Amino acid sequence: MSLSPSRSCSLDRRSSRGGALPHARYGVDLAKVPNTYVEPLTAYRAWNWTAEGVTSLNGKLWTPQAVFEATCSRAADLRSMQAACSTDAARKFWQRQSHPVPNPSCTCGMYAGINMQHMIEIGYLGRGIHGEVHLWGRLHRHTLGWRAQYAYPKFFVVPTNMIPVRADEAQRRLASLVEFDVDIYLQPEGEARLGQKSIPLWIRDYGYSQQGVSFLIEKWKKWDSTKITHTLVVGDRIAVFSDVSGGGIGIVKEISGDDVYYTLFSTDVVYRKRGKDVNWNERNWRWETTGLGYMRKREQAMGRTR
């Protein structure tokens, strides 16, 4: 279906009243949110946390103490098209296609959800560390939240099953989070849940908390890192490398014999891989696999709204 201008205008009007988008249900009044935000607005999102640092789920690096500025992946293409033009009219055509980020008709911008509850409902948390994020600059209202021009983390929540079992490796990795100079909390449960217990680990203007450090030391005592064998379990994350879609972070939903079933982009679609093709990467501290595997539709609907 292609949208005529009048149709997209009516969609715009509906969404600005909060009727078509779920924001109102989560206590966000869209009428009070301008398109360009000077004061930061907070939203919710997840990040990858690897040996390289903190990245968006698409792999884009977030730099400590630096504003994350979203860029448009089409911008470079458009510039080269413009440069290659032989006529003014053609050059102007390509000029008109370039746009500030985010643009309503493009996919560019930094994505963040309305709040934690909404991100849990759409099955998005659990793909890494998560937390609140400040958004400002140009803002585009999205069905699932926002696409923003600028962002910076407000706090991080780290599931403790993502903390390396070797204390020296864990300290090195945690130091990369501390550099952001925002509060860090531990999440003892594997899955994110509203109202669950969290333990302060590092608090701004205070440093490491005794409670958080004691919790980790107890955990390390139980782990004898010389005898650790990594066993894939339900709820584990898998970094999936694929040429088809660029891959992503999958979540293990079921293990049956030699087969591993995981979801990737949508909770409705399950992929199957052989267990021997999912390997532990000691350096990246995560499970990794190449190729999506076999796809099947999930039989029962997950309790979830869209």
Buried b (16+ CB within 10 A) or exposed e, 255-264: beeeebbbbb
Minimum CB distance to Zn ion smaller for 144 or for 178: 144
Q: Three-state SS string across the chain, please? A: CCCCHHHHHHHHHHHHHCCCCHHHHHCCCHHHCCCEEEEEEEEEEEEEEECCEEECCCCCEECCCCCEECCCCCHHHHHHHHHCCCCHHHHHHHHHHCCCCCCCCCCCCEEEECCHHHHHHCCCCCCCEEEEEEEEEEEEEECCEEEEEEEEECEEEEEHHHCCCCHHHHHHHHHHHHCCCCEEEEECCCCCCCCCCCEEEEECCCEECHHHHHHHHHHHHHCCCCCCCCCCCCCCEEEEECCCCCCEEEEEEEEECCEEEEECCCCCEEEEEEHHHCEEECCCCEEEEECCCEEEECCCCCCCCC
Nearest to 145 by CA among 271, 63, 30, 8: 30
Minimum CB distance to Zn ion smaller for 70 or for 192: 70
Stretches 6-14, 69-77, 238-246, 261-269: which one binds Zn ion (CB under 5 A)?
Answer: 69-77
Stretches 70-78, 221-229, 259-267, 290-298: which one binds Zn ion (CB under 5 A)?
Answer: 70-78
Query: Residue 103 interacts with Zn ion (CB under 5 A)?
Result: yes
Question: How many residues contact Zn ion, by CB under 5 A?
Answer: 4
- Among positions 108, 120, 240, 249, the unique one binding Zn ion when judged by CB under 5 A: 108
Pair 113, 135: CB distance under 8 Å: no
Query: Residue 260 interacts with Zn ion (CB under 5 A)?
Result: no
Q: How far is the CB of 104 from Zn ion (least distance, A)?
A: 10
- Among positions 21, 28, 54, 72, the unique one binding Zn ion when judged by CB under 5 A: 72
Query: Residue 70 interacts with Zn ion (CB under 5 A)?
Result: no
Q: How far is the CB of 1 from Zn ion (least distance, A)?
A: 22
Q: How far is the CB of 70 from Zn ion (least distance, A)?
A: 9
Pair 131, 149: CB distance under 8 Å: no
Q: How far is the CB of 69 from Zn ion (least distance, A)?
A: 13
Minimum CB distance to Zn ion smaller for 72 or for 135: 72
Q: How far is the CB of 21 from Zn ion (least distance, A)?
A: 20
Q: What are phi and psi of 33, to 5 degrees?
A: -105, 110
Q: How far is the CB of 184 from Zn ion (least distance, A)?
A: 32
Q: In the stretch 14-53, what mask flags binding to Zn ion with x, by CB under 5 A?
A: ----------------------------------------
Q: How far is the CB of 75 from Zn ion (least distance, A)?
A: 7
Query: Residue 120 interacts with Zn ion (CB under 5 A)?
Result: no
Stretches 11-19, 106-114, 174-182, 289-297: which one binds Zn ion (CB under 5 A)?
Answer: 106-114
Amino acid, single-letter form, for residue 300: Q
Minimum CB distance to Zn ion smaller for 103 or for 290: 103
Stretches 15-23, 105-113, 133-141, 255-263: which one binds Zn ion (CB under 5 A)?
Answer: 105-113
Minimum CB distance to Zn ion smaller for 102 or for 248: 102
Q: How far is the CB of 100 from Zn ion (least distance, A)?
A: 9
Do the bridges between strand 183-187 and strand 155-159 make them parallel or antiparallel, or are there none, so unpaired?
Answer: parallel
Query: Residue 148 interacts with Zn ion (CB under 5 A)?
Result: no
Residues that bind Zn ion (CB under 5 A): 72, 103, 106, 108
